[in-house]
Amino acid sequence: MKVISYNVNGIRAAIKKGFLDWLKATNPDVICIQETKAQKEQLDLQLFDDIGYPYHYWFSAQKKGYSGVAVLSKHEPKKVTYGTGIESMDFEGRNLRLDFDDFSVMSLYLPSGTNSLRLDFKLNYMAEFQEYVNLLKKEVPNLLICGDYNICHEAIDIHNPTQNKNTSGFLPVERQWIDQFIKNGFVDTFRHLNKEPHNYSWWSYRANSRNNNKGWRIDYCMASEPLTSNIERAYILPEAKHSDHCPIGVELKF
């Protein structure tokens, strides 16, 4: 199973930049999308059917043009779960899970902490999400949580760790949360197979950051520990340029 995760920073804008041609050529079994910034009725859903994704599910924020996640699949899932059931999280459309025979995959879009109010919201979201996942793993042991976590885990995951030590996305409390999330039974699939520096998944639009590779690795495919032996490949695809993020991928063999 080839699974890709991609924060598209607006699905309609990404489609105008060639996203559908790229998706057809890349040909994952499942793609988890974050920051769709669209309601389902604002999209021509036939476009996804036409390139081989007849199973597509959308969980939008109540606020139009904001947040939102989706999962597109070549294979019909056994079950689809919209949100977490936690009201304080679900109104922003940040979690969507598909269950298949061998594993379940979730598209996750963690909040960013752009100001003190949003940082408080983010930290609360992280705490509630951890509790939710701890229970979910008992029900769904083979779990792949793909998406934009809006956190760099280690210094290797950010181009300038010293300068950004007080910036949301690399705060000690956020890094500690990712650390604990992994210790609670997950594998960072990319770092599991790739130890090299200078691998990022997001770049600011400012100061020619992408061309200079001054980026952050804030997108992850986190696999629950029972899936560790199924991980065949994990990679980042920086050549795809439909967004300020790039896609990441993992291939699982069952």
Residue closest to 248 by CA, chosen among 211, 205, 219: 219
Q: What distance in Å separates the CA atoms of residue 111 and residue 119, rounded to the nearest whole number? A: 8
| Active-site choice (21, 101, 148, 179) | 148
Amino acid (one-letter) located at 160: N
Q: What's CA 169's distance to the chain center, in Å? A: 15
Indicate if 148 belongs to the active site. Answer: yes
User: Which residues have a Cβ under 8 Å from the Cβ of 94 and sit 6 or more positions away?
Assistant: 59, 61, 67, 69, 83, 108, 109, 110, 111, 125
What is the spatial distance between Cα 112 and Cα 123, in angstroms, rounded to a whole number? 10
Closest CA to 161 of 182, 175, 148, 144: 175
Closest to 227 (Cα-Cα) out of 177, 199, 187, 193: 187
Assign residue 225 a region (left: φ > 0; alpha: ψ between -120 and 50; beta: otherwise): alpha
| Listed residue (132, 89, 80) closest to 109, CA to CA | 89
Catalytic positions are 148
